[in-house]
Amino acid sequence: MGYDLSITRDPIWTGRPGHSLTLEEWFNVIQRDDELCFALSSEPRKYPSCDAEWLAHPKPEEAPHGTFFVWGGGDVICKYPDEHQMIKMVRISRKLNAIVIGDNGERYDLDENGKLVVHDESAPPPSPRPVTYGIGCNPCEKFTKAVAASKTPDGLMFYQWYLGLITAVNAMRYEDGKSVMTFPLTPEFIREDQIFLAQYCQEHPERLFHRAALALLQLRLARCGS
């Protein structure tokens, strides 16, 4: 198990109404911050990047898992961050009107002198939030294995689950008077989706598949200009 730090606007953690971070907002931060650059993916022709590399880390060779901030489908995540990365995440969070939260609910901030402080709070009490059902509840590792075992139907079932998510989101957007997403489900388009999901799951085998699906959904929304 790793230790993740997340930049988030999830109302459960912030205690205020609002919506999750959008890919457009995250891209805007990367483009405007001279210390950040886009980190190329392993399939740059299809999906150049949703992630950022921090170029100004004072000791990058000592960063346990590199100097990357990873898009997590509504949050920005850093795995095994050191103190320098934690401080940078707090500074980024202020640009996004967000907060920085650890795996155990602890909140990271900076004092008036710019020093890192940790508010060691327990996780908030349970409150109503969307519950995930079906094959999307499985870890990304299972999706990777299903794709590798091409003779099994599981790989297709994962993608069908993702399309069901798109359908549900479209239904809510329609009810809210927003434009719905329409995609040409051609073999090439589906292949692009599968490449993205496969790459995400290979990089984050311990996360649930629904987070990979949400990351792809955010990317598609950004490309639709929604």
pLDDT tens digits for range 36-46: 999 876 665 65
Q: For residue 123, is pLDDT > 60? A: no
Q: What is the phi/psi pair of residue 161, to 5°?
A: -60, -40
Judge residue 26's burial from the number of C-beta atoms within 10 Å of its C-beta, 0-12 exposed, 13-18 middle, 19 or more buried.
Answer: buried
Confidence class for position 62, pLDDT limits 50, 70, 90: confident
d(CA 9, CA 89): 13
Element (H, E) at 4: strand 4-8
CA angle, 50 as apex, 45 and 55 as ends, to 5°?
A: 105
- Pairwise pLDDT comparison (155 vs 186), residue with the higher score: 186
- Pairwise pLDDT comparison (152 vs 212), residue with the higher score: 212
d(CA 8, CA 92): 11
Mean pLDDT (the chain) is 84
Percent of the chain with pLDDT over 90: 34
d(CA 203, CA 139): 12
